[in-house]
Structure 1
Amino acid sequence: MISVASMRVVAYNIKEFEKELLAKANAKVHDLTLISNGLSFSTIHYAKGKEVIIISDEDQLDRPLLEALWQIGVRKIITRSMTLNHIDIHYASTLKMHIANTPSKDPSPESIAMQTIVNLHNWGNNKCLGNACHCSFDCENKKHLLNK
């Protein structure tokens, strides 16, 4: 089994059926907190002390919310969707926040849960996320991937 560095993560907007899928996919590797509430200024406190947040396409990450997340130490965001139109990607890039989605052609909840955890594993092991990466800045991982 490959060693994976554990990350501190909170997942917002988790539906009941997603809890077991994410827990199984995670296999107790990451410190994963699952919240049924959406991400907002009234729920942002759950992200304090976390490196990563996981959101859904129902969570709108505009400039003020991204700034607040940055201020409490969140540096990475995974959306459990293929789309990114609910995230101000341009502003996230100015903050040097890493953004990922779940681009699998299989839109099943199982596949989304697995891709979400694979993204965490790759970040934990300081690897680029490939097609799931939507950082609009050149990080060291992208440079290394391009030089292969």
Structure 2
Amino acid sequence: MKILVYSYRMDEAEYFEKFSKKYNVEIELSKEGPTLENVSLANGFDCISIITTSVDRKLMEKFHQIGVKFISTRTIGYDHIDIKSAKEFGIHVGNVTYSPNSVADYTVMMILMLSRKIKIIMERSNVQDYSLKGVQGKELQNLTVGIIGTGRIGKTVIRHLSGFNCKMLAYDIYKDKKLNQYAEYVDLKELFQKSDVITMHVPATKDNYHIINKNSIALMKNGVFIINTARGSLINTNDLIDGIENKKIGGAALDVIENESNIYYNDLKSQVITNRDLAILKSYPNVIVTPHTAFYTDQAVSDMVENSILSCTLFVEEKENPWEVY
């Protein structure tokens, strides 16, 4: 069996070597993401592995024409893949799972950084300003944290936060009774109204699009902290900016933003970036922006590579595949 790997990174090298041997799979690697210009690389491959690069209808049609039957994305989210077109052309699609601790640890870190105003403290210390004015923080034990989404990552965040003795509210369509010892499930409106900190761990679906918007922000406490380590499309960026500027929102920590494609994971020094919202958000002293790196640990990268290979193998062998989304 052979798998073509697009968007191959050097940090994945040892894992592709390790798991290709483990599962007896031949791997061909391309540092390029899938495009109409390089689609021919997939000739002769039933399965391809991608990461966050877009696969639109035109590209899906080309893959269909050369015989690709399965696309595995080495990510949990698969909103960069045109699922409707995949169904039309009969190409199956799978995602992967990886260590939930990676994003959960990062989320807790961002909550602490935001609540303790670490961005201001670090920037001041860089210019030898060690004054205390404006850097008084808050203690987690005195805050209510609202967790939107209690899947693998959300529930891990809850378990991690339980050690801080903070009150937690949770929202999910599917409730996990095991979490009742840590958090109280409430409806989304109540979560917005009662939370001092709101962190999101839901996929980028049509129903979740702009779940944070001017209407939901209006329900929130004054000075609320908003954390997003999931997907940029969960937040209406213009409404977020308005909320920050009118001081309704006390701060935001964003590992993802809208329209981040073709920006994150690239070295763009000395270039003009055509994302004004990113520039605006980075300018605020109470906003932390990181480049979609919450997932990025050695364990997570290992899991992403292994599960993508395993998913392709299960598809070809016509076995039950827990990662197949269509």
SS at match of 2:71: strand
Question: Which stretch shows the higher mean deviation, 102-111 or 64-73?
Answer: 102-111
- 1:140: which partner in 2? none
- 1:133: which partner in 2? 324
- 1:139: which partner in 2? none
Q: How much does 1:133 deviate?
A: 1.0
Give, in whole Å, the separation in 1 of the partners of 2:2 and 2:302: 22
TM-score, scaled relative to structure 1 = 0.80
Give, in whole Å, the separation in 1 of the partners of 2:310 and 2:42: 20
Give the unaligned 5+ runs of structure 1: 1-6, 136-148
Give the unaligned 5+ runs of structure 2: 101-294
Give, in whole Å, the separation in 2 of the partners of 1:90 and 1:69: 14
Q: List structure 1 segments (4+ residues) > 3 angstroms apart after TM superposition.
A: 104-107
- 2:41: which partner in 1? 46
- 2:89: which partner in 1? 95
Task: State which of 70, 79, 88 in structure 2 corresponds to 1:76.
Answer: 70
- 1:118: which partner in 2? 310
Contact 1:19 1:34 in 2 (8 A): no
The one-character-per-residue Cα deviations of 1:59-92 (angstroms, maximum 9, x if unpaired) are: 2110000000000110100000111111000110
State the number of aligned residues.
Answer: 127
Q: How much does 1:96 deviate?
A: 1.6
Identity %: 24
Task: State which of 54, 60, 65 in structure 1 corresponds to 2:54.
Answer: 60
Give, in whole Å, the separation in 1 of the partners of 2:99 and 2:11: 20
TM-score, scaled relative to structure 2 = 0.38
The one-character-per-residue Cα deviations of 1:34-78 (angstroms, maximum 9, x if unpaired) are: 111111011111101111110011x21100000000001101000
Question: Which stretch shows the higher mean deviation, 105-114 or 43-52?
Answer: 105-114
The one-character-per-residue Cα deviations of 1:93-132 (angstroms, maximum 9, x if unpaired) are: 12121100102344510111111122122123211212x1
Contact 2:20 2:26 in 1 (8 A): no
Is residue 2:36 matched to residue 1:36? no
| CA radius of gyration, larger in | 2
CA RMSD, aligned part only?
A: 1.4
Contact 2:97 2:303 in 1 (8 A): no
